[in-house]
Structure 1
């Protein structure tokens, strides 16, 4: 199946890469839900998790709706219709719509524990991010795909290049991937990477539709970080609960995840650099100063 990949990041307690793989044939359906929520709530500014400061706001309602939509879009085994909030209210009370058709997105969550602070041999900050992106990208594709579920990437979207102080280096990301498994493919084209802004009101930005999916990716990576015990505000713990359903299933191990609705749609792992060598392990769960580790091998 062909996918477009959307990338965003979080830099709280490590460097978190979030990669949302949207099937080309499901992109329109996902966008229709996101844009319907925007219309119902009446908010058309760029949205991100860090902007949400109070419950009774349009920002909160839109993030609430989008996170429900985003986690439902990752379902690969729809056992029953799922209720979700599409921004509609009657007399102030939430109205629920039912999710009945699979979209089949995938999400790769990959964390570099030291926020790239130990990567002294890289020439600049951007190359550090490109290198760890490449690690998570390759490992995530290998885990989420198989002979019956091939993955072909037709486009890669990054959220702006200005903070990197240069354009994204396709050579470092794609040409250094090494050998991919037979069921993984990346389309060969000159315009594979789009690294313009995700702010649909910026002068130089990606298409309006792609900006929405980049903003959704930003919400998802922040929400997974939050429910894994790295919340920046207590308010977000409640808002991000949809993501907890997925991480709870994942942390039960492979057998538990295999029975989950999200099997084939989600993977998370982390890495760190020690004595010049890279080490990979399961994600770290942290809550109330209690840590537990679940191993995950690509």
Structure 2
């Protein structure tokens, strides 16, 4: 087995039509490069404030920044460049023409896990609080995502796990429920045992108890990713959100073409989508790709 590659994990959630976990996995050796380009787009758009997908409802600075970031992270989500050029939106437009920049071939390796608990945890009984249900479904999604996205040829070690603020959860994340109960991990997956593994401070750098600025940016990027995927499946609130779903919808379309096509893709094993639900006390799993055929083609507008 090859040496494990260090990754940091960024988590956010959405509770529209299910409980959606989004987990952005950033290779430590690419983190600074990705952040530099995210900051460049933020400067270009002139929007220094926290950005969230649910707050985007019309063209403007928030939309342009989200468009630039989603375009950029799609390029970083390549597993390999295959010497095929990839251009990302910089956030700048000249007249009606958007400005695109060539992305370096080394901008690869970012991965994303989308995991949905279909029934919003309502069937999960005998848990001490709602957050413990979130922690449990997160753990299930994390294990499946790591097993699918990595392998003995591409092993992984998670060095930090960032959650988007403990205040809205009502308490700090329980490391025992999230990590210590993570049994059955395959040999090519490892979670660090450092005391500071979990950071659940706020994602807004202006907050008194905020995470480091760089980590706040990546948590906000995770928010945009999960929102754009959810919108691509038809769960969105306005036309601006639907337009921003184009990157996720493109990936979903490639995923729906099947494993044989994905093996030849630059985005092979860089994202996974699945959902779970309880049936007679047992967890059932299915891929969210099934939703694409019934909902993304005829999206519903949430009002």
Displacement of 1:92 after TM fit?
5.4
Aligned to 1:75: 78
Bigger mean CA offset, 243-252 vs 226-235? 226-235
Aligned to 1:18: 22
1:41 aligns with 2:29: no
Q: 1:257 aligns with which of 262, 267, 270?
A: 262
Q: Any stretches of 5+ residues in structure 1 without a counterpart?
A: 292-298
Displacement of 1:231 after TM fit?
2.2
> Which whole-Å deviations, capped at 9, do the CAs of 1:19-48 have from their partners, x for residues lacking one?
000000000110011000000111100001
Aligned to 1:9: 13
Displacement of 1:257 after TM fit?
1.8
Partner secondary structure for residue 285 of structure 1: helix
Question: Are the counterparts in 1 of residues 164 and 201 from structure 2 also a CA contact under 8 Å?
Answer: yes
Partner secondary structure for residue 235 of structure 2: coil
Residues 196 and 142 (structure 1), Cα distance of their counterparts in 2 relative to 1, 3 Å cut: same
Name the CA distance, whole Å, in 1 between partners of 2:235 and 2:266.
Answer: 25
1:227 aligns with 2:232: yes
Name the CA distance, whole Å, in 2 between partners of 1:83 and 1:189.
Answer: 38
Name the CA distance, whole Å, in 1 between partners of 2:251 and 2:75.
Answer: 10
Q: TM-score, normalization: structure 2? A: 0.92
Aligned to 1:295: none
Aligned to 1:59: 62
Name the CA distance, whole Å, in 1 between partners of 2:63 and 2:28.
Answer: 29
> Which whole-Å deviations, capped at 9, do the CAs of 1:39-78 have from their partners, x for residues lacking one?
01111000011111111x1111001101101111111121
Q: How does 1:33-182 map to 2 (within 5 A)?
A: 33-55=37-59, 57-79=60-82, 80-91=84-95, 93-101=97-105, 102-182=107-187
Q: 2:241 aligns with which of 215, 236, 239?
A: 236
Name the CA distance, whole Å, in 2 between partners of 1:62 and 1:81.
Answer: 22
Q: Any stretches of 5+ residues in structure 2 without a counterpart?
A: 298-303
Question: Are the counterparts in 1 of residues 201 and 211 from structure 2 also a CA contact under 8 Å?
Answer: yes
Aligned to 1:294: none
Partner secondary structure for residue 165 of structure 2: coil
Name the CA distance, whole Å, in 2 between partners of 1:19 and 1:99.
Answer: 23
The Cα RMSD (Å) is 1.6
Partner secondary structure for residue 236 of structure 2: coil
Name the CA distance, whole Å, in 1 between partners of 2:213 and 2:224.
Answer: 17
Name the CA distance, whole Å, in 2 between partners of 1:175 and 1:167.
Answer: 15
Name the CA distance, whole Å, in 2 between partners of 1:74 and 1:91.
Answer: 29
Number of equivalent positions:
291
Name the CA distance, whole Å, in 2 between partners of 1:243 and 1:156.
Answer: 23
> Which whole-Å deviations, capped at 9, do the CAs of 1:248-283 have from their partners, x for residues lacking one?
111222222222221121111100011111111111
Name the CA distance, whole Å, in 1 between partners of 2:27 and 2:47.
Answer: 26
Residues 289 and 98 (structure 1), Cα distance of their counterparts in 2 relative to 1, 3 Å cut: closer
Q: TM-score, normalization: structure 1? A: 0.94
Question: Are the counterparts in 1 of residues 233 and 295 from structure 2 also a CA contact under 8 Å?
Answer: no
Residues 289 and 207 (structure 1), Cα distance of their counterparts in 2 relative to 1, 3 Å cut: closer
Bigger mean CA offset, 81-90 vs 160-169? 81-90
Partner secondary structure for residue 29 of structure 2: helix
Partner secondary structure for residue 32 of structure 1: helix
